[in-house]
Amino acid sequence: MSKPDSKASQAPVETAKRQVQNYIYRYGKEGWWPYAPGQTASTEATAWCALSLSEKDPLRLKALDYLVRSQNQDGGWPTGPAEGKSDWCTGPALFALRTVAESHPSKQATAAYEKGAAFLSELPTELYNLAARMLLGAVQGVKETEESARGWPWSRGCYHWVEPTSYNLYAFKIPERTRYKGGFNQMILRANKFLLENTCSVGGWNHGSHFSLGTNLPPYIVTTAEALLALQDFSDHKEIGRAFDFLDANSEAAEAGQKNSAMGLAWMTLAYHAYGRDTAKTLTKLISIQKEDGSFGPNMMVTALASMALNTTDAVNPFKMKTGNGKPGSKTGDSKTESDTGNSKSHSDKEPA
């Protein structure tokens, strides 16, 4: 959302932006950030903080350097330096690395992205062993088996979830579908499908499935906004509209509570902006809960997200997909096909072009 669309007063917005940027600067002078002041480096916090800085900020380059240096041999990232095997933090790290490297291209960054992308391509949840998959293929068809919905886990060998799937899709789809070698199309297709098949009965996303033991599970604001950002290339899909209905209802309903948390408001603002929707309400609320020190609470990741949400008033949103005419999923500039969901008939009212 650009300035003219925002009803939030510009003076408080500019002050809020300046204060939050100062806060982020204060704790990231070395190019990395902790989750909370005084702690050791966090891959995830570093990724979101790096994305919150302006494109030409030299600290961004330092962050890029940190991300390249802290990559594990296997191509992934652990939650912090020397903190074990690569984990879900690979998604945010790879997304940040790719975005920052756009304005600071280097061979090292390209190599790091390719290694990271290769790591993620090996990681999606596999629910069955090879023998079972072969049998399943024989029963329901190889194509259907190979294109069945699969997202990414938090840790290798675990089940798939909305949040890591969304983060990893950012790394492959934002600002546009990755052109790096590796043939990630099927993986992206299956992940899209996983998200689109797991929406809640009232719209939006829980963090895993939408149904449990005879009970419909409720959607959450954060996971819904995160998944929406991952699915901008399906803006005409009915599930996108239902998800926004859920977010809108929470934006209106004072008793819902979560909308008043900085994390919820920041993700909502970023999602609204990415889809060209009005961000005034969420931005106004977000600004109203900024702390005196410029932060949005003790979690640096949340402060970085809030900073990015505030930056949408300058039409800057690192989560926004490039789609040609400003409308996510629009025909212009969007090279996706209906096969991107893997199931054009059952999941979409209107497939992307």
Contact set with other proteins (CB under 8 A): 35-36, 39-40, 42, 44, 78-80, 83-84, 87-89, 125, 127-129, 131-132, 135-136, 138-140, 148-150, 153-155, 157-161, 163-164, 194, 197-198, 206-215, 217-218, 220-222, 255, 257-258, 260-264, 297-299, 301-302
140-166 CB burial, b ≥16 within 10 A, e <16: eeeeebebbbbbbbeebeeebbbbbbb
- What DSSP designation does 207 have? S
Q: Which is nearer to other proteins, 78 or 294 (CB)?
A: 78
CB of 87 to other proteins, least distance (A): 6
CB of 191 to other proteins, least distance (A): 12
Report the distance separating Cα 127 and Cα 157, nearest Å: 9
The neighbouring-strand residues paired with 67 are none
CB of 54 to other proteins, least distance (A): 26
Q: Which is nearer to other proteins, 209 or 330 (CB)?
A: 209
Q: Which is nearer to other proteins, 199 or 348 (CB)?
A: 199
Report the distance separating Cα 67 and Cα 96, nearest Å: 9
Select from 265, 307, 285, 284 the least CA-distant residue to 23: 307
CB of 88 to other proteins, least distance (A): 6
The neighbouring-strand residues paired with 42 are 33
Residue type, 334: D
Q: Which is nearer to other proteins, 88 or 170 (CB)?
A: 88
CB of 189 to other proteins, least distance (A): 15
Residue type, 174: I
Cis peptide before 175 (omega within 30 of 0): yes
Q: Which is nearer to other proteins, 257 or 333 (CB)?
A: 257
Q: Which is nearer to other proteins, 145 or 330 (CB)?
A: 145
Q: Which is nearer to other proteins, 298 or 333 (CB)?
A: 298
Phi, psi of 137 (to 5 degrees): -60, -40
CB of 37 to other proteins, least distance (A): 12
Pairing of strands 41-42, 33-34: antiparallel
CB of 309 to other proteins, least distance (A): 15
Map residue 212 onto helix, strand or coil: strand
Report the distance separating Cα 106 and Cα 63, nearest Å: 14
Task: Report H helices in 33-174.
Answer: 43-52, 58-69, 90-103, 107-121, 130-140, 142-146, 162-173
